Structure 1
Amino acid sequence: MGILKSRLFKIIAIIVSIPVVLFGVYLLIMIITDYKPDKAIKLEIDNNQKSVIKKDESISIITFNIGYGGMDKDQDFFMDGGLGSRSKSKEKTLENITKISAFLKSKNTDFIMLQEVDRKSTRSFKVNEVEFMKDALKDYASSFALNYKVFWVPIPISKPHGSVQAGLLTMSKYGVESSTRYSLPGTEAFLRQLGDLDRCVQENRIPVEDGKELVLVNAHLSAYDKGGVIRKQQLQFLKEFVQKEFEKGNYVVVGGDWNHSMPGTDPSIFKTKQAFPDWLKTIPEDFAPKRYKWVIDKTVPSNRTVDIPFKKDVNFLSVIDGFLVSPNVDVISTKGINLEFENTDHNPVLTELKLK
């Protein structure tokens, strides 16, 4: 009987130790494969164009977070309290990005700034959305900056988020002199950071006929850091970054998903049955450098909550996408385009500008 007990205890010990060993192996792999980009990385420019911006011509820019082709109106997301962690299917991913690319083509803007564009990720069923967009929009130069590269996100346990490669895609009908990925400051706690985004901005330099440059910055800032410490660091970095470029005499446009309620906007104007989400903070009034202008549409929500699928007049809505432009850029028009979150949890924002 004693021998049987001893063997039983050994078997139980082995069974109990298996998850610990597996976690250790997983953690080791995550540490080894952890994406640690340099502070500045030169990016490849595909299909570069030849035209130069003229000062007497208007330029149009659209920013759009495409939600990795998986955050359509029927989806929720586990990080915000929902259950979803992936697109519904490969077919649905392709349907979403096909409709998004067709919309972008119909607008025919000079510049396109996209966030959450996947490149063979589990959550989007391995669809290479970067190549898809480049193929669908052949008249544009393009460059891509990774801001999310993780071997395996193990949660939720029932259907893990999985392997992720995603980032920022900027497209231009004008020639691009250079494209650079700049890491943003601030990191989460060790274990969380291993599975989280490595936030960055993507700077694109476009020549202007007067010898200056349009510095076009594609941004996707942090959303979930407790206490907002990381967000403050990122905003300070961005403030100093754009101010230096303006002091050089360049034209500066920052666009993207700020993950903050934009200055001057009021979410209470949108009908909702939900409370103001804890993660949503407002960009401080003193953030923008002197005489810089916010370019937003206060009347059209650019984002919805994703703890539940989209239901009209139920989800909390806000304006977190838009642009910041330097004093030497005139704003002709700005329009948020309400697509009712059909294919992603964001709405696009389009602006028309002129360089002074």
Structure 2
Amino acid sequence: MIKNSLKWLGWIIVILVAIVAIFLIYVTAVDYKPAAQIQLQTDNNNGSELKQGEPFTVTTFNIGYAGLDQGQDFFMDGGTMSRSSSKEQTEENLSSIGTVVKETQSNIYILQEVDKNASRSNYINEVAELGKLLPEYSRTYALNYKVSWVPVPVLHPMGSVESGLLTLSTFQSTSNTRFDLPGKESWPVQQMELDRAFIASRFPVDNGKELVLINLHLSAFDKGGVIRKQQLDFLSNYIRQETEKGSYLVIGGDWNHSLPGTDPNNFASQQGWPEWLQSFPETFSADGFQWANDPTIPSVRTLDIPYQKGVNFLAVIDGFLVSPNIEVVSVKGHDLSFKNSDHNPVTGSFRLK
């Protein structure tokens, strides 16, 4: 009897190992491997031309796939959840996010964690839905997370993911390029992780120059910020090349660092500094560039627990870096109390010198 039980146990272990092996072979074979540069399609690219000296506004917002509202935690941050609580909640979050975005009346929106076809957001095409809410804007989308199946957490896996960056604009662009960022996790973790990237959109200016607008989302959970440093080095080199051309540059998005000029200690919290959050490295080089952040309004909360005012650790990780030939007119963080996303949006007003 014992011998038969051990035999069956052995077969079960063999079968489980085989299933895991087959799964790893499969996800490796179908792993999304984007080229270093991809020219992106832009829909409804019928906007106006940027004018030197006239203010324009840009809003950055990590919408957390319309699933990370106040009541949510996330397993990667120490919580338990991996998906939106329901399709109805996802739709409500997305509708509220769209309303907030419209109310800022910005010329350009750079959004992160926008799902197109994902289990975690109930397969709602958020790109299409946001496009309906803002029909007068051009739309450029770049994948940075495409995985056939994320098997964790085991009891409630994240599942399939197709997500990315979305840039919306009232200005006409001449090109939009996805740049793959360096730094990858080890196998097989990378096969289920994001492929970090940024969108570089080029907008002609009436003085013959160009505005290069970057929509980025840097790594978050790399140990010690090693991968983030590689990504920032790549960005620094890109900035140098564009500066030499005389371009205007606005770089915005989710930096996943505590940004210069901001201090998380200014926000009430009962939690300590989370392991994933890094201070912005002093080694980053962008001569003459200036940060445009709102240090008074937190732009992100921790996700190990649902949001509780005065409890979650808060920080400013969303904002802008702009070239010396651009004047920062104003910057405003929008305190939404993380009602529909784990981030708050930030709006900057700029003027091309």
TMscore range, shorter length = over 0.9
Q: Secondary structure at the match of 2:233?
A: helix
Cα distance in structure 2, aligned partners of 1:135 and 1:213: 28
CA shift for structure 1 position 191: 1.2
Kindly report which structure 2 residues correspond to 1:25-174, keeping only aligned pairs within 5 A, or say none: 25-174=22-171
Do structure 1's residue 193 and structure 2's residue 190 form an aligned pair? yes
Match of 1:340 in 2: 337
* Superimposed CA distance per residue, residues 93-148 of structure 1 (whole angstroms, 9 cap, x where no aligned partner): 11001100111111111000000000110111111111111111101001001000
Match of 1:241 in 2: 238
Do structure 1's residue 292 and structure 2's residue 289 form an aligned pair? yes
Cα distance in structure 1, aligned partners of 2:104 and 2:321: 21
Do structure 1's residue 207 and structure 2's residue 204 form an aligned pair? yes
Where in structure 2 are there 5+ consecutive unaligned residues? none
Cα distance in structure 2, aligned partners of 1:227 and 1:12: 41
Do structure 1's residue 23 and structure 2's residue 16 form an aligned pair? no
Match of 1:324 in 2: 321
* Superimposed CA distance per residue, residues 59-118 of structure 1 (whole angstroms, 9 cap, x where no aligned partner): 100000000010000000000100111000111111001100111111111000000000
Out of 323, 344, 349, which is 2:346 matched to? 349
Q: Secondary structure at the match of 2:42?
A: coil
CA shift for structure 1 position 266: 0.8
Out of 301, 304, 325, which is 2:301 matched to? 304
CA shift for structure 1 position 210: 1.1
Where in structure 1 are there 5+ consecutive unaligned residues? none
Cα distance in structure 1, aligned partners of 2:275 and 2:117: 32
2:239 partner amino acid = V
* Superimposed CA distance per residue, residues 167-225 of structure 1 (whole angstroms, 9 cap, x where no aligned partner): 10000101011111000011111111011000001110011111111100001001111
Q: Verify the 8 A CA contact 2:47 2:138 in the aligned structure 1.
A: no
1:221 partner amino acid = L
2:271 partner amino acid = Q
Q: Secondary structure at the match of 2:278?
A: coil
Aligned length: 353
Q: Verify the 8 A CA contact 1:273 1:313 in the aligned structure 2.
A: yes
Match of 1:283 in 2: 280
CA shift for structure 1 position 286: 4.0
Percent identity of the aligned residues? Answer: 50
CA shift for structure 1 position 28: 1.4
CA shift for structure 1 position 13: 3.1
Question: Which deviates further from its counterpart, 8-17 or 232-241?
Answer: 8-17
Q: Secondary structure at the match of 2:167?
A: strand
Q: Verify the 8 A CA contact 1:263 1:285 in the aligned structure 2.
A: no
Cα distance in structure 1, aligned partners of 2:343 and 2:281: 22
Q: TM-score, normalised on structure 2?
A: 0.98
Q: Secondary structure at the match of 1:264?
A: coil
2:10 partner amino acid = A
